[in-house]
């Protein structure tokens, strides 16, 4: 069953700068090698998970058939960074289903076509080698998976942009979102002061450490 995210929380997350959340959170950030393959994207969505024990395209197709509006398909390749489970057809099908993105702890293919389709896709890189129509029956759908070193629960909030990927639960998001939005609102004034030549210690209100003082 697809869990519904609180609409007001989604709107707030869409408004915040994701790197700002990194000032207030320490956990849930995927390995930095998982990067946007389609540039200039920002994603707020709900995790639908798939773990592949073998490079099985049929399992991927079955997962795609379950996607609905707002989903982010998160694929755990079980350490396989050679076979690409996502390409032109996969991304087009996900977009047509209303998915927000696909995130692969592994590689993808058809990079040019992925960019043309426009669905945000995140992965460790690209490969010519792809999954096969095995129908092995050993995939796990909508169970906890590992993606970029983070254990991801089905229904988790997914935040992803050109800087990286963050998985978190609604409670954690609600705890930090107002602080993060306030930080975003304050940043333009801080930048303006720095650009005007004001000293960093005055802008950020800190004292220089004695050991860092120049003789």
The Cβ of residue 46 has, within 10 Å, a number of other Cβ atoms equal to 22
How many residues would you count in the chain? 215
Instruction: Count Cα atoms within 13 angstroms, Cβ side, for 117.
Output: 27
110 labeled part of a ligand binding site: yes
Among 156, 41, 59, 57, smallest CA distance to 101 is for 41
CA distance linking residue 126 with residue 38, whole number of Å: 12
Dihedral-angle region of residue 142 (phi above 0 means left; psi in -120 to 50 means alpha; beta otherwise): left
Binding-site residues sit at 110
Binding-site residues for Mg(2+) sit at 110
């Amino acid at each position: 069953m697809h869990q519904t995210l609180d609409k007001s929380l989604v709107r707030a997350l869409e408004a915040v700068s994701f790197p700002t959340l990194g000032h207030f959170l320490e956990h849930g950030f995927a390995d930095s090698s998982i990067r946007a393959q389609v540039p200039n994207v920002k994603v707020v969505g709900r995790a639908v998970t798939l773990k592949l024990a073998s490079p099985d395209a049929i399992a991927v197709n079955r997962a795609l058939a379950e996607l609905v509006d707002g989903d982010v398909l998160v694929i755990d390749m079980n350490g396989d960074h050679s076979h690409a489970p996502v390409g032109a057809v996969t991304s087009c099908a996900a977009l047509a289903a209303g998915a927000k993105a696909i995130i692969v702890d592994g590689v993808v293919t058809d990079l040019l076509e992925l960019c043309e389709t426009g669905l945000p896709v995140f992965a460790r890189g690209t490969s010519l080698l792809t999954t096969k129509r095995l129908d092995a029956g050993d995939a796990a759908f909508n169970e906890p998976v590992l993606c970029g070193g983070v254990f991801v629960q089905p229904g988790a909030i997914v935040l992803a942009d050109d800087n990286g990927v963050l998985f978190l639960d609604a409670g954690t998001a609600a705890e930090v979102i107002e602080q993060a939005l306030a930080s975003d609102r304050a940043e333009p004034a801080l930048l303006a002061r720095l650009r005007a030549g004001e000293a960093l210690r005055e802008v950020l209100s800190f004292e220089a450490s004695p050991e860092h003082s120049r003789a």
